Structure 1
Amino acid sequence: MTQLAIVYRTVPHGNSKGREALDLTLLAASYEVETAVFFIADGIYQLLKNQQPGVIDSKDHIATYRALPMYDVEQIYICAESMQQRDIELTDLIIPAQPLEPEQLRQQLFQSKQVLTF
């Protein structure tokens, strides 16, 4: 059973939710809390390659996702339906993620002790 599930639901720039979720993910993992991350709906944009946040005067935190494996965050899931709706392929992502159908995502989330959504 996963101790903590962090769900990313919002776009990466224009608000601080994505950066706050990433900070929490890294912090929890640094304290050896078993952490899984879920990217659903517009949250899948967090993982897109070649973003240019400077255009809207936003800080670039996207490259930090590459640190997840160094923190032993290996349960990285992305909603296959959200990807299909937004015409995004796995090769468009900055890190590998396991695509799951909505029902599979629900099952994974149900197995977590705590779920935080950003």
Structure 2
Amino acid sequence: MKNILLIHTSSSLNTLAGKEALDLSLIFGAYEQQVSVLFYHHGVTQTIAHQDPELVKQKDYLSTIKALDIYDIDKVFVSENCLSEFNLQHAELLSGIEPIDIAKIEQLKNDADHIYVI
């Protein structure tokens, strides 16, 4: 079993890259790989609760984040530094997402067999 780290860096509704990164996470989870997901930089906006993509005429792929656990993806993180950059608090995020510091991010990278940045 490979240890895979997917780093989501795209904002929630500007491009389809966020959806594609989430789809890739689910694919690896379906193949029973050890998957960790990190929302980083603009990617932290994907984790904000109570977004309504339909207001900007997009499908709601963000609710799929809640399904990660179904695919045994329970290591879902967000960068504390990036939250601060976007003036976000942990309480504003979807449940089940753990804020981590730079040291923990470096450890995730070191432990990963493969890293995908989308």
Q: Which residue of 1 aligns with 2:113?
A: 113
What is the identity percentage for the equivalent residue pairs of Structure 1 and Structure 2? Answer: 22
How many residue pairs get aligned? The number is 118
Question: Any unmatched runs of 5+ in structure 2?
Answer: none
Q: Which residue of 2 aligns with 1:51?
A: 51
* Aligned-partner SS, 2:15: coil
Question: Any unmatched runs of 5+ in structure 1?
Answer: none
Q: Which residue of 2 aligns with 1:33?
A: 33
* Aligned-partner SS, 1:55: helix
State the distance in 2 between where 1:68 and 1:15 align: 21
User: Retained in 2: the 8 A contact 1:14–1:58?
Assistant: no
Q: 1:1-16 counterparts in 2 under 5 A?
A: 3-16=3-16
User: Retained in 2: the 8 A contact 1:5–1:112?
Assistant: yes
Q: Which residue of 2 aligns with 1:91?
A: 91
* Bigger Cα displacement from structure 2, 33-42 vs 45-54: 45-54
CA RMSD between the two structures? 1.5
- Which deviations, in whole Å up to 9, do the C-alpha atoms of 1:28-58 show, x marking residues without a partner? 1011011000011110111111112122222
Runs of 4+ that moved beyond 3 A: none
TM-score by length of 1: 0.92
State the distance in 1 between where 2:72 and 2:62 align: 18
User: Retained in 2: the 8 A contact 1:76–1:98?
Assistant: yes
* Bigger Cα displacement from structure 2, 61-70 vs 92-101: 92-101
State the distance in 1 between where 2:59 and 2:21 align: 15
State the distance in 1 between where 2:32 and 2:40 align: 24
